[in-house]
Amino acid sequence: MFPIFFLGGGYEGHWMFGTLVLGYIYQRYKSQRAGYSASWFNGAWGFSILSGIIFARVFHFLFWQTEQFFENPLIFFQGGGGGAAILGATIGTGFGGWVYSRMTRVNFLHWCDSLMAPIAICLTLSRVSCFLNGDAFGIPTGMPWGMVFSDQSIDYSVYWRELHRLYANSPMPLDVIAGIFAKWNVGLSDLPLPAGLAHLGAAGVHNLADLQRYYPGDPAQLKELGLVPFPLVLPAVHPTQLYESALNLVIFLIVYFAWGKPWARQRLFFIFWFFYGMNRFLVEFWRFDWNPATYLGIESLSYAQVISVGLVLFGAGGYIYNTVRWKRTGLPEPALR
């Protein structure tokens, strides 16, 4: 992970802008090939993006900062504090496109056949930006593909810095650290050596478990070794951004190759939501910001997973319902604008 801050922002803001530009170009091209005018597409695209931005902020506070939102609903109108939930943005974009199509009397599902592949590839790229920025990371892990993000990433390091005070000046910091990470089944041997202790590598110290030889020890010697105060521990975590990005790429390939097939015509919209919901539902199990759906009375699932289940049911139901209906009536004619 390599965070870069430019003009006061991180990768995600710049990548979001870049993704919007790329999405606009790709989607306009596909939309015009499907028979829609550039002027109509511009209106539909702008309306959809505006809706996506609103939904992104609503979803962020309603499902990721739930308690803070209910304590102070006006936080929605305050600057900062996030507000760019990709799940909400994706749903909001689809909703905005549907509303605009209804307003202009366009066959929304026909139009969507040209849009779902560009949306899937843009989602693939957007999660790469999260990875580079150290956002939306996973729970700590001892797996070899676990990633240690930079301490310059505010999203990644803020939680570990809060925990640092619990063991920084403890006479037995390793015991405290072991207790902190036990809930993730991560042991001291799974935790990498802090950068400030790299000099101990010559003595065969490569992880926190190797530091046990120094405890209990003389405070003066521990300080000389750089163990007092104990340095900040940054654990390796699941790169859930890459998990989701890879699955979004699979969705793109499915939608891309399904385009034009008789069984997928005017149903790519539902096919996309079915697989996208499955994607987010699965990845959510490894997300660090897993937020239980307490206000819905479902402690075993997060809000994102509850929404994802709804998307899977919506996608499957919409596909089946319309397939059965159109076998009797035939596909609706496109209403080009």
Overall pTM > 0.75: yes
User: Per the structure, how many domains does the chain have?
Assistant: 2
Residues 122 and 16 in one domain: yes
Residues 23 and 102 in one domain: yes
Domain that residue 197 falls in? 154-224
Residues 285 and 195 in one domain: no
Residues 44 and 177 in one domain: no
What is the full per-residue pLDDT of the chain (337 aa) written as tens digits? 444 443 344 555 566 677 778 878 888 988 998 899 999 999 999 999 999 989 988 888 888 777 777 777 777 666 554 567 888 889 999 999 999 999 999 999 999 999 899 899 989 988 888 898 888 899 999 999 999 998 888 889 999 999 999 999 999 999 999 999 999 999 999 999 998 899 998 899 999 999 999 999 899 999 999 999 999 999 999 999 999 999 999 999 999 999 989 999 999 999 999 999 999 999 999 999 888 888 888 989 999 999 999 999 999 999 999 999 999 998 888 877 7
Residues 245 and 318 in one domain: yes
Residues 248 and 118 in one domain: yes
How does 39-71 read in b/e, with b if 16+ C-beta sit within 10 Å?
Answer: ebbeebbebbbebbbbbbbbbbbbbbbbeebee
Residues 57 and 32 in one domain: yes
How far is 191 from 153, CA to CA, in rounded Å?
A: 19
Q: Which two tokens stand for residue 286?
A: 């490894």
Residues 199 and 53 in one domain: no
- Whether residue 2 is contained in a domain is answered as no
Q: Which of 224, 255, 276 is the last residue of a domain?
A: 224
